[in-house]
Each structure stands twice: as structure tokens, then as C-alpha cells.
With several copies, the nearest count.
Chain A
């Protein structure tokens, strides 16, 4: 039941070109920095990446865009990334945009074995094109399919060797949802602990959903919008 691998390189060693990857995080918050670095180093390409955002030019998934490893991005918001824009406009990169809550819920549906759910977002918009619409109690909903990926790559705050994960603050975001939706789920953690070190009452992702785990190193945890206030006099 020990799911520990040595590092990011080992965790991703069987990801091949053409794979579909889910990557946790919201903006640059809670992203699997070590695995992204390892994927860049490994040089695989033609990847389909499902992630709420696409990083910035020189951090996060932006690094995989610089090396042209990404064939298609499936995201809800892809701003703040010049190289992304260049590749999109030149036709090098495909993009599928999905409402943020729909993206989140489709991951959860996968982890809960629900093949489809009905959601409100996008009714009457171009997002609804080709989707089944159904009325419940006087409201129209879109049928949305569960979403999985060959590999889900998430970043947690702490995890134990059995794969149980906890997340910190808003770095939780999509991470526990994607952790449930990977055929293979890889978790990198800031602190790898022993079974029994995490309170079983407060596990966010039960280990059953996690296949590989390792302690990450050198987290940069870059801040995208540093907003502060002055101390009051």
C-alpha cells in the first residue's frame, strides 16, 4: 500500500506523448510545480492538458507551452499568457473553453462514478452547441459528461504514504476534484508524512484515489497578483 515514488521524474516516467493530463491549480495557486518541470525536461509532446488556467509565460503550464508540448488546452480562462495567445492565433494550439464550475463538476462526477450530470452553466450560449438540453422544474440544463484523464497531476499540502491528501487554503481549488478523475493520479506534496500523522477526520482526498505520491522540492509558489494593505496607524 506504499505509493511513494522518489521524485517527479519517477512519478511521470510512463507519461507518453499524446497523453491527456489533468493539472490541478487555479492560476498559479496550488499547481504541481515539480511535475510540470519534469514534464518539460522529459520533452514529451502532443499533450492534451485539462487545467482551469494555462499559467503565465514563464511559470506553470506556460513552461510547457514555451516548449510546444501542448497540443490542446481545456480550460475556463487562459488570459495573461502571450505565448499562449501567439500559438492560438497561429493555429499551433487548440483550445476548448469550459465554464469553471462545469469543469470542476465534471471532474467530481468522474470520481463519483456518475457518467453525466445536468448543469445550468452555458444554457443559451455557444457552450450549449451540440449538447443535450433538458428542462427540470421549469429551468433548462445542459447534460455534461464526466471527465477523466490518463493522468491527473495534483499538488497537495501534506500527504501520507498511503496517498491520503490534505490541501491548504485556496490551493485546494481543483486539486481534490482532479485527484478523483485520473486513471492514474499523481500527487506531489509539500510534506510527505507517515500513515497516522494525518487526522482521518480531516482528509480531503482519501488515498484510494491516489496512485503515486512524492515529496516535492523547491516550491516557488509564485504570486500572480500581490495585493496588500498598509498597517493601520
Chain B
């Protein structure tokens, strides 16, 4: 059975290593914070200007001055640091943030990503997405494998306007885990109950099944 959003987040959380600085995008990526493995300490970065993002505040303790990049009220933690938006993207560009997790509309088998604009629809802007995908040293995409009509979102090339080139390192979809390699997508795990045949059928981009492919374990 394909993963739900929480399961996608939970699987991505397994990629976190102790001591990582991590930027979590809006949507499924935000949920990753709920599944950080025990004993793994990570520091969450919010690109509007915070290292050490804490949980939502208790009711009544919200502070309009303390929000994350999704404009949600949040808190700090002991050891947090605040800074301006130039330093925030500066540390990402300089490779100091170990991992960025974000959503996508499309990913190509060379790592290109499209996630900011649909021609013909109102364009809201790229926000920090173009900076993050261009500059982050390790990018995992959390996404649905297909659109509502069943069309693959893992493609030979993006059909939507590009957000960044050759930047995605790994995709965790509702169907499995895919490394992005010089040979395209390599399926290294499949969701419990999902077949390799289904993954093949629903992946339009170049796809290889890893020799040691295995069922995902939570």
C-alpha cells in the first residue's frame, strides 16, 4: 500500500544523522520533525533566519515575531541563533546546512526539479525554493509519485518551469525510495505492499531497480 504523508516523513527522518543541520520545506517536509529518531540530535534551520527551530508554542504563548518560513508561529530552543535572511541563505550556499528536504511537482531523472510555477495558473513566486535547490549540498524530495490523474511525476525531463538543475539527490515518494544517480532513478526501497511492477509502471524517468532493493522498514 502506498505510504501516506506521515509515512513519507517518517522514512525521510531515517536519513537524519546525529549533528545534522537540516532545512525542512513546507508540507510533508515539515512533518519530518515529528519523527526524528531517538538519540539523533539535529538542528532545524528556518530560512527566514533561525537555527534551532523548536515546536509550536503552547496556546496563548504565540509571538508574532517568532515564525518559521511557512509563517507558522514557532519557538526557539536552548542554543538557537537568529540572523538576517542574507546570512540564512549564505550558510546554505556555503554548504553548512547538511540536508534540505522539500516538496516537488516534478523531478527529472538527472535531478532537475520543478516546484514553483504552473503555466496558466497564478504564480505566487519561488520564495526561497530556487536558493535552496541551487545551493543546498544534499536535497531529498518528498512527493507523491504520480499526480491525481495517475501521471508519473518522476520524469525523463521536467515539463514545468525548472526550479533548479541536477540538484535532487534522493526522492522519497509514496511508492518507494529512489536515489538520483548518473544512471537516473535507482529504486532502493519499495513501500510495504507496493510491487516493483507498479513502481516501474508509474515511473516515466529512467529507472533501475537496485540489486539489493528491499521493502521499506520503519
> What residues make up the interface of A, taking CB atoms closer than 8 Å to B?
1, 26-30, 52, 75-79, 85, 88-89, 97, 99-105, 107-108, 110-114, 119-127, 157, 160-162, 164, 168-177, 180, 194-196, 200-201, 203-204, 206-209, 221-231
Given contact pairs A99-B131, A208-B97, a sample of 18 additional A-B residue pairs in the complex whose CB atoms are under 8 Å apart: A89-B122, A101-B90, A104-B86, A108-B86, A113-B93, A113-B95, A121-B134, A125-B164, A162-B79, A168-B65, A169-B50, A170-B48, A200-B81, A206-B83, A225-B70, A225-B71, A226-B62, A231-B59
Evaluate contact between B130 and A79: CB separation under 8 angstroms.
no
**A-B pairs with CB below 8 Å: how many?**
247
Q: Are B82 and A29 in contact (CB under 8 A)?
A: no
Which residues from chain B contact A26 at a C-beta distance below 8 Å?
A: 48-49, 67, 71, 85
The yes or no answer to B213 lying at the interface (CB within 8 A) is no
Rounded to whole Å, the gap between the CB of A119 and the closest CB of chain B is 7
Least Cβ–Cβ distance between B212 and chain A, in angstroms: 32
Q: Interface majority SS on A: helix, strand, loop or mixed?
A: loop
On whether A124 and B164 interact (CB within 8 A), knowing A101-B47, A101-B88, A206-B87, the answer reads yes
Contact with A along B1-32 (1 / 0, CB 8 A): 00000000000000000110100000000000
**Cross-chain contact A225 with B73 (CB below 8 angstroms):** yes
Q: How far is the CA of A157 from the CA of B89 in the complex (A)?
A: 23
Specify which of B68, B74, B93 is in contact with A119 (CB 8 Å cutoff): B93
Mark out the residues of chain B between 23 and 76 whose CB falls within 8 Å of any chain A CB in the assembled complex. 41-43, 45-52, 55-68, 70-74, 76
Q: A78-B125, A99-B126, A173-B85 are in contact. Are A105 and B90 (CB under 8 A)?
A: yes
Give chain B residues whose Cβ lies under 8 Å from the Cβ of A194.
Answer: 78
Chain A neighbourhood of B43, CB < 8 A: 1, 162, 207-208
Q: Which 4 A-B pairs have the closest CB atoms?
A: A113-B93, A101-B89, A195-B79, A196-B78
- Separation of A207 and B209 alpha carbons in the complex (Å): 40
Known: A29-B65, A195-B78. A113 touches B47 (CB 8 A): no
B82 pairs with A201, CB closer than 8 A: yes
> Which of chain B's residues has its CB closest to A148's CB?
B94
Q: Cβ of A100 and Cβ of B73 under 8 Å apart? A: no
CB-CB < 8 A to B131: which residues of A?
99-102, 119-121
Contact in complex: A101, B128 (CB < 8 Å): yes
Q: Are B89 and A122 in contact (CB under 8 A)?
A: no
Given contacts A113-B95, A200-B81, contact A29 B126 (CB under 8 A): no
Which of A123, A201, A207, A227 makes the CB contact (< 8 A) with B134?
A123
**Which of chain A's residues have a CB closer than 8 A to the CB of B51?**
206-208
Known: A30-B65, A114-B93. A97 touches B125 (CB 8 A): yes
